[in-house]
Amino acid sequence: MTAQIIDGKAFAATVRAKVATHVARLKEENNLTPGLAVVLVGEDPASQVYVRSKGKQTIEAGMKSVEHRLDPDTTEDALLTLIKQLNDDATIHGILVQLPLPAHLDEDLVINAIDPAKDVDGFHISNVGLLGTGQKSMVPCTPLGCLMMLRDHHGSLSGLDAVVIGRSNIVGKPMAQLLLGDSCTVTIAHSRTKDLPDVVRRADIVVAAVGRPQMVPGDWIKPGATVIDVGINRIDAEGGKTRLVGDVDYESCAAVAGAITPVPGGVGPMTIACLLANTVTACCRANGLAEPK
Ligand code: NDP
């Protein structure tokens, strides 16, 4: 069997096009422009690339994009003051603080200072609680993008066995909540899981969010299963170059799976598209307007 490739790049383009249509309507009918503020502390190269890309795509969708680039030694007080300003700014509907923060800053404190209604990353404790109890929340972008691709591929996910490898607050746990919300039978695996290959072999859906290059081989995959690879790992390649790989071994998994997301071009593009969609949702909610479907 050769797996169907789930084209996250193309899917993300359709999500962004829908976002742009909604933004144009908000401007025309309500004189509103959704605004996204991204805060970057320090000079982490990967974070700089993500922030640039987020800003570019925000503008391409017709939205307002604001970037705050702060020195690596920015104090917690200065960062919290900026967040308060953005919370109070009616032209800003989404606030994203790029993680990881430098070690001297308390990530939980900073994230929980964001107005939950503007927390387009969905990491604020209120949004985590709302998601966990099945209430309307801001949903973290990466798991949301994975869920959209899974729903698109399967239609209903009800009753499917899903294994999420990884239990981070930003990917693994919210992914598991979303799959549970769609009535999957969910297992969360992590570094202490016993017999991980056997656990993964039971799954109709495998979501790998580990941060270990090509860790999941094809012989862990149940024939026909759907594999969603969240991992983004840069490894050495021939000729002194580097290349991006996921957390699954693409070749061997694609030979067994029914469907698989590639890296790059799978989950990554969907994450930013969902960030834009969340910002439009936040703008609509803030103004008592119907949310995009
Ligand atoms: P974290 O490092 O926060 O979490 C990794 C998880 O994997 C932990 O729960 C850890 O378990 C688990 N783990 C580590 N080693 C093993 C192992 N040998 N067996 C089973 N589980 C293991 O990572 P993130 O969740 O932040 O990110 C995961 C990956 O997704 C990374 O490659 C990251 O780059 C990528 N990513 C991609 C995004 C995108 O837009 N495509 C967005 C965000 C992340 P334990 O808790 O026990 O330590």
CATH of the domain at 152: 3.40.50.720
Atom of ligand 1 nearest to the CA of 172: 25
Residue numbers of the chain with a pLDDT score lower than 70: 1
Closest CA to 207 of 134, 199, 137: 199
Longest dimension (CA), the chain: 56
Note whether 260 and 145 are same-domain residues.
yes
Residue-level pLDDT at 1: 65
Q: What is the dihedral of CA 155, 161, 165, 166, to 10 degrees?
A: 80
Q: Name the 3-class secondary structure at 232.
A: coil
Note whether 102 and 179 are same-domain residues.
no
Note whether 252 and 152 are same-domain residues.
yes
Domain membership flag for residue 280: no
What is the whole-number distance in angstroms between the Cα of residue 132 and the centre of ligand 1? 20
Closest CA to 275 of 60, 64, 96, 24: 96
Residue-level pLDDT at 293: 81
State the residue for tokens 């799959």: 179
Rg (C-alpha) for the chain, rounded Å, is: 19
- Among 82, 116, 150, identify where a domain stops: 116
Note whether 145 and 264 are same-domain residues.
yes
User: What distance in Å separates the CA atoms of residue 143 and residue 126, rounded to the nearest whole number?
Assistant: 17
What is the whole-number distance in angstroms between the Cα of residue 12 and the centre of ligand 1? 22
Note whether 97 and 180 are same-domain residues.
no
Note whether 216 and 251 are same-domain residues.
yes
Q: Which residues line ligand 1 (CB under 6 A)?
A: 142, 165-168, 170-172, 189-193, 196, 209-212, 230-233, 247, 267-268, 271
Note whether 148 and 105 are same-domain residues.
no
Atom of ligand 1 nearest to the CA of 268: 41
Tell me: ipTM over 0.95. Answer: yes
Atom of ligand 1 nearest to the CA of 210: 7
Note whether 256 and 219 are same-domain residues.
yes
Note whether 224 and 148 are same-domain residues.
yes
User: What distance in Å separates the CA atoms of residue 265 and residue 246, rounded to the nearest whole number?
Assistant: 11
Structural domain including 44 reads 29-116
Q: What phi and psi values does residue 79 have, to the nearest 5 degrees?
A: -65, -45
Probe target for ligand 1 pocket from 191, 195, 207, with the most ligand atoms within 8 Å of CB: 191
Tell me the pTM.
Answer: 0.97
The set of catalytic residues is 54, 98, 121
Residue nearest to atom 22 of ligand 1 (CA): 191
What is the whole-number distance in angstroms between the Cα of residue 172 and the centre of ligand 1? 7
What is the whole-number distance in angstroms between the Cα of residue 88 and the centre of ligand 1? 34
Residue nearest to atom 47 of ligand 1 (CA): 191
Structural domain count, the chain: 2
What is the whole-number distance in angstroms between the Cα of residue 212 and the centre of ligand 1? 7
- Structural element, H or E, at residue 57: helix 45-60
166 marked as part of a ligand binding site:
yes
Taking each helix axis as running N to C, give the angle between helix 141-154 and helix 8-30, from 0 to 180 degrees, rounded to the nearest 10: 110
Domain membership flag for residue 3: no
Note whether 84 and 182 are same-domain residues.
no
Residue nearest to atom 16 of ligand 1 (CA): 191
Instruction: Give whole-number Cα distances, 152 to 138, 226, 236, in Å.
Output: 20, 12, 34
Strands 35-41 and 233-236: unpaired
Q: Which residues contact 278 (CB under 8 A, 6 or more apart)?
A: 94, 120, 121, 122, 138, 139, 141, 144
